[in-house]
């Protein structure tokens, strides 16, 4: 299966700071999603972004499929942004529901 690497593994910020999370993947993909996992384990879908750029409030994401990476930007971070951010991809032989996840970036935002 596809290998997914996320960096950095841990990130500690003060409220109001900006951050960039990176996801590298090892092969062509037909699906790329970013998730936020809260402290209670709930995975929330942030973006479906196999290519291009999308924005949703303080969050935005860019995927450069030809170079096999995606970036998640968080601006003006808040304490509620804390949690683990996962990048997950689907390869061309898989159905939609089969995703390969990275190990995540643990984000901690201090007041």
Partner 1 sequence: DAGVTQSPTHLIKTRGQQVTLRCSPKSGHDTVSWYQQALGQGPQFIFQYYEEEERQRGNFPDRFSGHQFPNYSSELNVNALLLGDSALYLCASNHRVLGIEKLFFGSGTQLSVL
Number of residues that bind partner 1 (CB under 8 A): 24
- Is position 31 an interface residue for partner 1 (rule: CB under 8 A)? yes
Rg (C-alpha) for the chain, rounded Å, is: 13
Nearest residue (CB) to partner 1, 58 versus 98: 98
48, 53, 58, 79: which one binds partner 1 (CB under 8 A) = 48
Query: Per CB under 8 A, does 83 bind partner 1?
Result: no
86 near partner 1 (CB under 8 A) = yes
Question: Of 18-26, 38-46, 60-68, 71-79, which part binds partner 1 (CB under 8 A)?
Answer: 38-46
Residue 94 three-state SS: coil
List the interface residues with partner 1, window 3-22 (CB under 8 A): 4
Task: By CB under 8 A, name the one of 39, 41, 57, 111 that touches partner 1.
Answer: 41
Strands, E assignment, the chain: 4-7, 10-14, 19-25, 29-37, 43-48, 52-56, 59-64, 69-74, 83-91, 100-101, 105-110
State how far the Cα of 58 lies from the Cα of 74, in Å rounded to an integer: 6
What residue spans of 1-111 are helical by DSSP H?
A: none
CB of 76 to partner 1, least distance (A): 25
Paired with 36 in beta bridges are 44, 85
């Amino acid at each position: 299966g596809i290998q997914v690497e996320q960096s950095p593994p841990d990130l500690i910020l003060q409220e109001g700071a900006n951050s960039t999370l990176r996801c590298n993947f090892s092969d062509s993909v037909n699906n790329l999603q970013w998730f936020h996992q809260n402290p209670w384990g709930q995975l929330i879908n942030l973006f479906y972004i196999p290519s291009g750029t999308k924005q949703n409030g303080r969050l935005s994401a860019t995927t450069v499929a030809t170079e096999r990476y995606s970036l998640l930007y968080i601006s003006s971070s808040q304490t509620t942004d804390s949690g683990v951010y996962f990048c997950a991809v689907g390869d061309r032989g898989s159905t939609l529901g089969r995703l390969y996840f990275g190990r995540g970036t643990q984000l901690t935002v201090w007041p």
